[in-house]
Copies of this chain bind each other. A is one copy, B any other.
Amino acid sequence: MRNIDQHNITEAVIARFASCDNPRLKEVLSSLVTHLHDFVREVKLTEPEWMEGIRFLTATGQMCDSKRQEFILLSDTLGVSMLTVALNQSRPAGATEATVFGPFHTDDAPHVAAGANVAEGAPGEPLFVEVEVVDLQGRPVADAEVDVWQADEEGLYDVQRPELGDTRRARGVLRTDAQGRTHFRSVVPTAYPVPTDGPVGCLLVASGRHPWRPAHVHFLIRAPGYRTLITHLFRDPDPYLDSDVVFGVRSSLIAPFVHHASGPLLDGPHSTLKHRFVLDAEAGAGAGAPAR
């Protein structure tokens, strides 16, 4: 094809995928090209705007390292992450809803016993969390892995504090007991802005958006025979519950963090949180399959 114009170019690009022997890749690329071209045509993208887009994407890639994933942040703030979660994580009524994974999970969190203080020095009011993991019939899911991570009272994750090096805090991996239960101590999370010192922060400012996420604790819960659940518990009240910068809030995930001036667990101010997570069975595993 020698005379490409704005009308026939989409067809011309898609025709080039004719020899692609991966039908799913062909489908994804053809759809991507169609929608990307429709966008460019709809706004009649100018050449300086195109160049600005190239610069933005390049800077976004170059901001990424082992502790910072600026493209996930971009996807999060444009609602693409939550849309992908919503498309893939629809669950039956009664099962705990999923939300975005976020960029701050690490694979090297300490494995700790029930009752541990995962804060490990992270600043904040003490928080005592009791977790129960059950199936759709309410039966305990024993030996489920409960991976938790969160920001401290300054709104920072450990990986955002260069002074900590590879030290991990305010994160840990627990296992449920025979009753599907575990518990741990941590700190009360606070609302925090997503990182604004990169290209995505510039885009938020330029587009008149605030960078805040409502306070939350992340949970990744897995057990054989069940669908892995990646979710948060959001602290109520929080000024950003209705305007989470990454669109991750679901009403069912807003949980009461109960404040105590002093109490049986601790002398002095602290909070408590109890939550029951309901897992649904993995496709093919049969409803209510045992955990092991």
Inside 8 A of A206's CB, which chain B residues have their CB? 20, 22, 25
Is A59 an interface residue, CB under 8 A from the partner?
Answer: yes
Known A35-B38, A59-B61, A61-B57; contact A50-B84, beta-carbon cutoff 8 A: yes
Inside 8 A of A9's CB, which chain B residues have their CB? 79, 82-83, 86, 247
Is A273 an interface residue, CB under 8 A from the partner?
Answer: no
Within 14-72 of A, Cβ neighbours of B (below 8 Å) are at 16-22, 25-29, 31-47, 49-50, 54, 57-62, 64, 69, 71-72
Which residue, A19, A36, A83, A243, has most C-beta atoms of chain B within 10 A?
A: A83
Q: How many copies does the complex hold?
A: 2
Minimum Cβ distance to chain B for residue A7 (Å): 9
Contact digits for A227-249, partner B, Cβ 8 Å, 1 yes 0 no: 00000000000000111000111
Inside 8 A of A71's CB, which chain B residues have their CB? 54, 57-58, 61
Cα distance A22–B32 in the bound complex, in angstroms: 27
Within 190-218 of A, Cβ neighbours of B (below 8 Å) are at 206-209
Nearest to A89 among chain B residues (CB) is B47
Q: Is the CB of B87 within 8 A of A44?
A: yes
Known A3-B250, A54-B71, A71-B54; contact A208-B33, beta-carbon cutoff 8 A: no
Inside 8 A of A255's CB, which chain B residues have their CB? none
Within 155-210 of A, Cβ neighbours of B (below 8 Å) are at 206-209
User: 4 closest pairs, A vs B, by CB?
Assistant: A61-B61, A19-B208, A13-B79, A35-B39
Please report A residues at the B interface, Cβ cutoff 8 Å.
1-6, 9-10, 12-13, 16-22, 25-29, 31-47, 49-50, 54, 57-62, 64, 69, 71-72, 75, 78-88, 206-209, 241-243, 247-251, 254
Would you give 30 A-B contacts (Cβ < 8 Å), ordered by A?
A1-B249, A2-B249, A2-B254, A4-B82, A4-B86, A6-B86, A6-B87, A10-B79, A10-B83, A16-B207, A16-B243, A18-B208, A26-B207, A29-B207, A31-B42, A32-B39, A32-B43, A32-B78, A33-B78, A33-B79, A35-B39, A36-B80, A37-B83, A40-B83, A45-B87, A54-B72, A54-B75, A59-B61, A60-B61, A62-B62
